[in-house]
Each structure stands twice: as structure tokens, then as C-alpha cells.
Structure 1
Amino acid sequence: MKNILEVKDLKVSFHTYAGEVQAVRGVSFDLKKGEVLAIVGESGCGKSVTSQTIMRLIPSPPSVIKGGSILFDDNKIDLLQLTLKEMESIRGSEIGMIFQDPMTSLNPTMTIGKQITEGLIKHQGLTKEKAIQQAVELLEMVGIPHPENRIKQYPHEFSGGMRQRVMIAISLACRPKLLIADEPTTALDVTIQAQIIDLLKELQQKTGTSIIMITHNLGVVAEIAQRVAVMYAGKIVEQGTIDDVFYRSQHPYTKGLLQSVLRLDDDEKGKLVPIEGMPPDLLAPPVGCAFAARCPHALNICLKEEPKNKVIQGEHSAACWLMDERAKKAGIL
């Protein structure tokens, strides 16, 4: 299956009063057509910066894209080489995005109908009447009752779950080829989270849209994604299929994430195993492996030299010195 997106060696920094924060440090991944890829990791690992860079939404200054490429669609258009005006024609029409907090993402002074029809009129050239008709259909598609009446209301008249459904309707209005969902279930209760995930799965199956799911919720990942990329300190440290990452994980950080999730089938019910320590300061990233200071299996070389990404099998790969043949021969792990 062809790739709809190829991110290669992406590097993004932010210039602050304290110095240069290296938020994204050489991220590479691809997304196939019709696939759901989840990007997971702790807060501050660079997930949202990566997604916003794909959309070209990070403000410059203070941000600066230091290198890499983002190739989109069959024509392999490098999104980083487009002007902002050229990017505007792609953003919303071919690439949609669901943001973390719908209350701050939706305009409180505009009706829901106005916010949905805006993109339809701009990108698809529909008349106002046709756009309103399509907006009603979109609200009905995402499960909002009485859409003919709700379309005239404002964001504050909707619940949190309903606002998130509106955000999904806006992002899917122009039938984009790629949808980026940046923690779409944040601040929603568990029942509403399940409804939103079920809705995304259903819509993805109907439309065939490729999805990048940004989250730190491993339960959401298991429910919706086919492949997972694990980020730590601005880098992808492991990626593979759901089964690869959940059942055959190789990187100590991935194992730590999985152990820190409460499991109902665990013998020691209610007991969590935390990852000790704190993520590194990206104002001055460590010379070697960024996870070495927190890793229970760290070797001397981990502190001195950065590990290269190693293919384990098929699409499964990890960047860890424990994958090195010399470590295996020495019987480490």
C-alpha cells in the first residue's frame, strides 16, 4: 500500500530567553493510505509539535524548522517547501486536524453552522445554501441530534463531548485525505471518550481517511490504531504494529510505559510501576541515549553515544543499544 505521508529526519527548535529548545530531534515515520498511526509518549516529548509542524501551524518565531522533509500524497509534495498561501489551500481541504480542547479551538462568537460552512465555501466553492445543507448532514453523521436546530447555536450551548463531535465534523467537512487527531479525548469523561473513539473508527472505515492519532492514552491506541510510534525527548524510540509494540516491545521506555498502565488482569491489582526520574532538559539534550539516566539497563555506551534505529523484524524497529549484537552476545537482558 502506498504512503500518503512520509516524515523524514524532522527537526524543530524554539528560541527562548533561556536558549534553544530542541523540541523535535530527527523524527522519521510514514503513514499508509487508509491507516491509523498512533504517536504516544509523555507530555513534552514532541508529539503535538510534530503534528502542528505537519500542518505548518507552529508560529515562527519563536519556532524554526532546522531540517527534514514532510512528503504528502502521491505527488510527494514537501509541505515544508510550500508558501503559507499554498499551505492554506491544503490545510482543511486535504489535511484536517482535531485539536485538544474544542472550547478554545471553536470561535465563541460564531455559530456552529458558520464555522462548518466556512471551509466548504472556501475550499469547495459551494453556495451558502449548499454549504448549510452539507453542514447539517455532517452534524448528523457525527451523531448530533436535531442538527437543523443545533447548527444555529454557539459553542457554549454544547457539552464537551458534543463540541468534540463538532470539531470532527469541521475537520471532515472537505473529505481530507489525512486527519490529525491531537489528543481528541483529553478532558472528556471515560464514557464520552469511548463514544468519540467509536465515532472516529466508524468514520475512518466509511471514508478511508488516513489518521494520525496523537495521545498518551494507551487504551485509546489499542482500540483504534494499526501501528504505533513511541516518542521520547523529541525522538521516536520504537515503532511497529500494535502487536509488536504491546506484546513484543524492545525499548526500555516502551516497556516502562506499558508497566505504568493499570491492568485489571494483573495479579497485584492496583499497583503501578512508575518510570523513575524525569525527562531530559531539551535546552541541553544528553550526548548519548536520552533515556539512559532513567533506564534500569543502561550501559556505559548509552551515556556516550546515541543509539541508531535498528529494524527488529518487518515494520518493528527500536533505537536502543540493547538491540546491538554485542549486547546480545554478552547476554545482557
Structure 2
Amino acid sequence: MSKPILEVRDLKVSFKMHAGEVQAVRGVSFDLNKGETIAIVGESGCGKSVTAQTIMRLVPTPPSFIKSGAIVFDGKTDIVKLNEKQMEKVRGNEMGMIFQDPMTSLNPTMTIGAQITEGVIKHEKVSKSAAWKRAVELLSLVGMSNPEQRVHQFPHELSGGMRQRVMIALALACNPKLLIADEPTTALDVTIQAQIIDLLRDIQKKTDTSIILITHDLGVVAEIAQRVIVMYAGKVVEQGTLDEIFYESRHPYTWGLLKSVPRLDSDRNSELESIPGSPPDLYAPPVGCAFAARCPYAMKICKEQDPGHFHISDSHSAACWLNHEDAPKVGRPVGAGGHANG
């Protein structure tokens, strides 16, 4: 098997604040293969966006700092060790990012064409006319109508879906090997969301680009991802293939996320379940399992000792004491991605 395009190893990222150190990312590890899409899911504040932005080295330093870990890109470059000048050659060229809100990410004073050509000229050292032609081609690739006219328009002249297509074109401008999409469909209506997901899938087939999708929308995950990483309180609590996470999940937090999604096969009068309680304070993370205070299955050991990862299969692991051979047998609840095991 070929070497992964991205290897994240024991990544720890903190923010130095007046009140102390916020431990936003606490030992995250995962791999991404060429041409693969992985989704990183979890509720707000779980560390998924910080992880993605650290890979691109976009988190402001200070107040953030990388405590430890490695981010090996393309088998040779440790992103953590690069200075800003070296990172500029990677960012936008070999890695692209689609941001959550295109209206605040695009420059309102520049035309769409000028924003796309800026990166092409910088990284590929081509003429202005060649870069402009490339901008038209990119807008056509992402499904924009009349791309020859769109390049002369400003962001405020476009709809939300069109601006998101421009963001994708910007991210693809230099044919990156890795594309990070941070909540790319959050501000869009359902019809446009489906179009953007179809677009990402189509582009991946054409370019063999690897994609990291950051989202809290499990419906979007089911449409595009091959593997899923579930994060909670700055840690990976479960990871596996799409089917393993949706139908064979082994962590109570994952069950809670799945039960909070509307299902077509459930009683239409039944209420959606929420996960009670609040995430822990990352100024002083708990000693044991971070989810223990909100977990209906928590045992004494959960509050005293971190479980580490139990390997369920070659592709599936979960950080939960319930997977220990001596733990009580708990079946997956009905509604948590399938039928109960019980």
C-alpha cells in the first residue's frame, strides 16, 4: 500500500490566554491516503477546525502554539518544522482550503478573477494572461455559468452558492494534493449543499485530490466520506470507515451524535435526542475520559483513567472503557446509526 499523503501524529495545540492555557487539541493522530475523503466530526469546540487550520499553519501564533507532534505531508515534509516563508510555498500550492463563510473570506475590493489569478501567478510563475485564462477554466470546472463574465464581478454580486464555488476554485487554483473543507456547506440551503457535495466528489474523481472535510452535519458525511474521525474535547474518541461509524460505532459520544440526526424510519412525532450536559473546560481537562460526566454508561474507572484506544478492527478504534473485555456488555442504542446490538 502506498504511503499516506498526510500523517498526523500526536498533535497537541494550545492557546496561551490570560486565564491560563487552553488545550484545544490533545494528541490527535490520523492518516489520509491519496484520493481519499475523511470527515472530522464533533460538536462546536471539539478541536476539529483548530486541527485543520494547524495542518495549514493558519492558527495565529501567538496566542496558539504547537506543544508537540508531527504533521508529515507527502511523505517528506513535517509541516510543524517549517517557518512561515517555507510554509508559503506549501500553502495554496500543495494544500488548499475552503473556508466556512466565503463572504468574509473573499476580498470585497477585488474581482473574482483578480483573487484567483493572484495565487496562480505567485506559485506557478505564469503570465497574467495565462493566469486569467486559468481563472476562467477553474470557474467553469466548479460549474459557474458564464465564467468569462464572472471573473470581472465582485463577491457581493454573487449568491451564497456561487461564492462558495469561487472559494472552491480558489482552493484548486494550483492543483493541490490536499484540500481541506472547513464546514463548506453550513451557510447554504439544502439544495445548494447537495450541489456543492456533488461538485467536490466530481472534482476529486477528476484530480485525485485528497479531502479532509470538517463538519457537524452527519448527512453530508454520509454523502462524501470514506472514513470518519469523531472528536471530543480536543481528542479523537473514535475513528473508522463510514459503515463502521454509522452502523458499528463503539463510543457513547458517537451514539449521541447519531441519535441527534433526524431519521426517515422513525416516528415523525418522536423528539430528537440531545446529549445532556456541556463539554469539559479545556483550561483544566479531566484526568479520565473527557466524556465521562455526560455519559450514561460511565464507570468509576472512566473518571480516573484515560481509556486510550481499543482496536476493534484494522480500521476501527474507540477510546472507551466499554470496549475492555471485562466491561459490562452494552448494546448500541436504537437510533444510533442502525439497530441495537443488544
Cα distance between partner residues in 2 of 1:143 and 1:36: 21
Q: 1:207 maps to which residue?
A: 207
Q: 1:11 maps to which residue?
A: 12
Deviations for 1:92-144, whole angstroms, at most 9, x for unmatched residues? 01000000000000000111001000111011111000000110010011111
Q: 1:224 maps to which residue?
A: 224
Q: Is the 8 A contact 1:263 1:269 kept in 2?
A: no
Q: 1:87 maps to which residue?
A: 87
- The AA in structure 2 aligned to 1:250 is R
SS at match of 1:104: helix
Gap regions ≥5 residues in structure 2: 332-342
Q: Is the 8 A contact 2:322 2:329 kept in 1?
A: no
Give the TM-score taking structure 2 as reference length: 0.95
* Cα offset, 1:187, TM superposition: 1.1
Q: 1:305 maps to which residue?
A: 305
Cα distance between partner residues in 2 of 1:46 and 1:331: 30
Runs of 4+ in 1 over 3 A off after TM superposition: 267-270, 330-333
Cα distance between partner residues in 2 of 1:227 and 1:27: 16
Between 258-267 and 85-94, the greater mean CA deviation after superposition: 258-267
Cα distance between partner residues in 1 of 2:124 and 2:187: 33
Q: 1:39 maps to which residue?
A: 40
Q: Is the 8 A contact 1:44 1:233 kept in 2?
A: yes
Q: Is the 8 A contact 1:275 1:294 kept in 2?
A: yes
* Cα offset, 1:267, TM superposition: 3.2
Q: CA RMSD for the aligned pairs?
A: 1.0
Q: 1:139-158 alignment to 2 at 5 Å? A: 139-158=139-158
Aligned pair 1:272/2:272, yes or no? yes
Cα distance between partner residues in 2 of 1:332 and 1:43: 27
Deviations for 1:8-35, whole angstroms, at most 9, x for unmatched residues? 0000000112211100000000100100
* Cα offset, 1:324, TM superposition: 0.9
Cα distance between partner residues in 2 of 1:210 and 1:53: 17
SS at match of 1:64: strand
Q: Is the 8 A contact 2:182 2:213 kept in 1?
A: yes
- The AA in structure 2 aligned to 1:47 is K
Aligned pair 1:58/2:59, yes or no? yes
SS at match of 2:264: coil
Cα distance between partner residues in 1 of 2:139 and 2:187: 22
SS at match of 2:40: strand
Cα distance between partner residues in 2 of 1:111 and 1:322: 55
* Cα offset, 1:260, TM superposition: 0.7
Deviations for 1:151-197, whole angstroms, at most 9, x for unmatched residues? 01111101110000000000001100000000000111111111100
- The AA in structure 1 aligned to 2:15 is F
> Structure 1 residues 332, 160: CA separation in 2 closer, same or farther (over 3 Å shift)?
closer
Cα distance between partner residues in 2 of 1:66 and 1:165: 35
Deviations for 1:235-286, whole angstroms, at most 9, x for unmatched residues? 0000000000000000000001000111111135442111111111111111
Cα distance between partner residues in 2 of 1:100 and 1:259: 25
SS at match of 2:67: strand
Gap regions ≥5 residues in structure 1: none
SS at match of 2:290: coil
Cα distance between partner residues in 2 of 1:314 and 1:95: 28
Cα distance between partner residues in 1 of 2:59 and 2:315: 30
Q: Is the 8 A contact 2:113 2:151 kept in 1?
A: yes
Give the TM-score taking structure 1 as reference length: 0.97
SS at match of 2:164: helix
- The AA in structure 2 aligned to 1:246 is F
SS at match of 1:132: helix
Aligned pair 1:135/2:107, yes or no? no
Q: 1:91-102 alignment to 2 at 5 Å? A: 91-102=91-102
Q: Is the 8 A contact 1:262 1:270 kept in 2?
A: no
SS at match of 2:228: strand
Aligned pair 1:258/2:265, yes or no? no
Cα distance between partner residues in 2 of 1:222 and 1:277: 27
> Structure 1 residues 57, 326: CA separation in 2 closer, same or farther (over 3 Å shift)?
same
Q: Is the 8 A contact 1:99 1:182 kept in 2?
A: yes
Q: Percent identity?
A: 69
Residues paired across the two proteins, number: 330
Aligned pair 1:186/2:186, yes or no? yes
* Cα offset, 1:149, TM superposition: 0.9
Q: 1:61-80 alignment to 2 at 5 Å? A: 61-75=62-76, 77-80=77-80
